[in-house]
Amino acid sequence: MHAWTWFLQRISAVILFIALGLHIGFLHFSHVGEPLNYADIMVRLKTPVLIIFDILLLIFGLYHALYGLYSVFLDFDSGKKERIVVLGLLVAMGLSFFGFGVFGLLYVIR
Amino acid sequence: MILNETLLPSRLSHRSQMWDATGMWAWILHRITGLGLVFYILLHTILMSVSLLSGKESFDATLAVLMGNPVFEFLDTLLVGAVLYHGFNGIRILLFDMGIGISVESQKKLFGIFMGVAAILWVWSIALKFSG
């Protein structure tokens, strides 16, 4: 299992390198001096392409972050049982954050 | 010669050899920025969702604090620095995984180039932030 999850960590790294650059660049550096506000954010959040972009960013961001945490955990000695428990917790955490993020997004743009 | 320093026993202890290596510091900083970014992305997801769900007034009030308070502005520049370091060092690790630039010499050279680009982008982002 470790091989493809490790590979996905590399894939998500490349995607995040590009997507986070766009996310930070557009949201914070494309109109310096004009503060972000609710109305502008709503227009952005309702744009179909950006809905997909934001959901993908959330998926890859969470995967990369939580798999990163799992890699840190694997650097310490652990038994098989502990690994399963930690992995289960991280998967549950990822799914909750994903559900929460998507629910929040779809709820405000409904 | 690099070969002598890395492959042959020297007067230095293993521990100091390890801590003298650029790669060791690069790894530690990758881990620290990584853990910081994990903490940030989770906090960011919750904070943005909750304040958006709480409506216009609440969201604009949250943003006013996050974007107006000097402490948060300082933390923002640290965040951008952490993203840039983790991103550019990450691409360097990826090249390493792909077998590009594996020798110690080219590793150090690549690290220098990538950190140079990241540093320029960081300074540029700080200049942009405080020019507006």
Show residues of chain A in contact with B128, CB under 8 Å: 29, 32
Query: Closest to B63 (Cβ–Cβ): which among A20, A36, A108?
Result: A36
Q: How confident is the model at residue B4 (pLDDT cuts 50, 70, 90)?
A: very low
pLDDT tens, residue by residue, B51-99? 889 988 988 898 888 888 899 989 999 999 999 999 999 999 999 888 8
ipTM of the complex: 0.90
Residue range B23-131, CATH number: 1.20.1300.10
pLDDT tens, residue by residue, A32-77? 666 678 888 888 889 999 999 999 999 999 999 999 999 999 999 9
Higher pLDDT, A73 or B128: A73
Q: List, in order, residues 6 or more apart from A102 with CB less than 8 Å away.
A: A55, A58
User: Per mean pLDDT, which range of A50-54, B21-25, B93-97, B118-122 is the poorest?
Assistant: B21-25
Domain ranges across chain A? 37-110
d(CA A15, nearest CA chain B) in Å: 11
- The residue whose two tokens read 């690994």 is A83
Side chain identity at residue A47, one-letter code: T
Show residues of chain A in contact with B33, CB under 8 Å: none
Cβ of residue B98 closer than 8 Å to a chain A Cβ: no
pLDDT of residue B14: 56
List, as own/partner pairs, every contact residues B64-72 make where C-beta atoms lie below 8 angstroms and the sequence separation is at least 24, other chains included: B64/A35, B67/A35, B67/A36
Domain ranges across chain B? 23-131
The Cα A43–Cα A48 span in angstroms is: 10
Q: What average pLDDT does range B101-105 have in this prediction?
A: 81
pLDDT of residue B131: 79
Higher pLDDT, A92 or B16: A92
